[in-house]
Amino acid sequence: MYKNFFKRIIDFSLALLVFLLLSPLFLLVMIGLAFANDGKPFFFQKRPGKNAKIFSIIKFKTMNDKKDAEGNLLSDAERMTSIGMFVRSTSLDEIPQLLNVIKGDMSLIGPRPLLVQYLPIYNKHQARRHEIKPGITGWAQVNGRNAISWKQKFDFDVWYVDNVSFVVDLKIIYLTIKKVFLKEGISANGHATTEPFKGN
């Protein structure tokens, strides 16, 4: 009952309330990133949601679009702006995703929506993460975020799919708040964010 009915009601109500409360901060970050990224404060990207249905995720743009002499984008570390690093380290870049939750593409809690190009290289176990809506935070995020291996992430995601409950979601919310303040697991070793998933 919670997974199929009450979770959506709670998602919509909390996402709307939190977005309204954070709207002044939302505007400040948007203005700051607009100056840092040539008038482009937002980052839109196609991501797979529940049942691998594609939707457009919205995040604050923490990296600029600088390219090398051959026209290729520079590495994540080279494109990360100072304000972008602050926004990412404080998880403020996740605020716009509240709009995805309000719209119904995402949940507050669930497996993080990954890149569309990963879909063909998931094995059957890994693909189970798409049995529910993706989330802004999730069991993998509070158990290591970008600092753990892909195998661990997928195992945590599938565990959550099999154990969705109000109590588990409350625990994840508490641990998420704790990790935001401690700034844990922001990046993987040697990477500005995390290394790409290359399959098994």
Residues pairing with 196 in the sheet: none
Q: Do the Cβ atoms of 66 and 40 come closer than 8 Å?
A: no
Amino acid, res. 92 = L
What does the pLDDT look like over 70-115, one tens digit per residue? 888 888 778 888 898 899 888 888 899 999 999 999 999 999 999 9
Cα 158 to Cα 100: distance, rounded to the nearest angstrom: 22
Query: Phi/psi of residue 108, each to 5°?
Result: -65, -35
- Looking at residue 81, its pLDDT comes to 84
Please tell me the pTM assigned to this model. 0.86
Structural tokens at position 128: 């189970």
- Looking at residue 60, its pLDDT comes to 93
Region 132-146: mean pLDDT is: 91
**pLDDT band at residue 183 under the 50/70/90 scheme:** low
Is 164 a residue whose pLDDT tops 90? Answer: yes
- Looking at residue 192, its pLDDT comes to 47
Region 130-154: mean pLDDT is: 92
What does the pLDDT look like over 7-19, one tens digit per residue? 999 999 999 999 9
Q: Do the Cβ atoms of 146 and 188 come closer than 8 Å?
A: yes
Query: Phi/psi of residue 172, each to 5°?
Result: -65, -40
- Looking at residue 175, its pLDDT comes to 93
Neighbours of 68 (CB within 10 A): 10
**pLDDT band at residue 191 under the 50/70/90 scheme:** very low
Helices within 61-149 (DSSP H only): 76-79, 82-89, 97-103, 124-127
Structural tokens at position 52: 């691998």
- Looking at residue 184, its pLDDT comes to 60
Cα 96 to Cα 94: distance, rounded to the nearest angstrom: 6
Cα 71 to Cα 171: distance, rounded to the nearest angstrom: 45
Structural tokens at position 90: 């404080």
Is 180 a residue whose pLDDT tops 80? Answer: no
Closest CA to 7 of 160, 181, 180, 145: 160
% residues pLDDT > 90 (the chain): 63
- Looking at residue 67, its pLDDT comes to 85
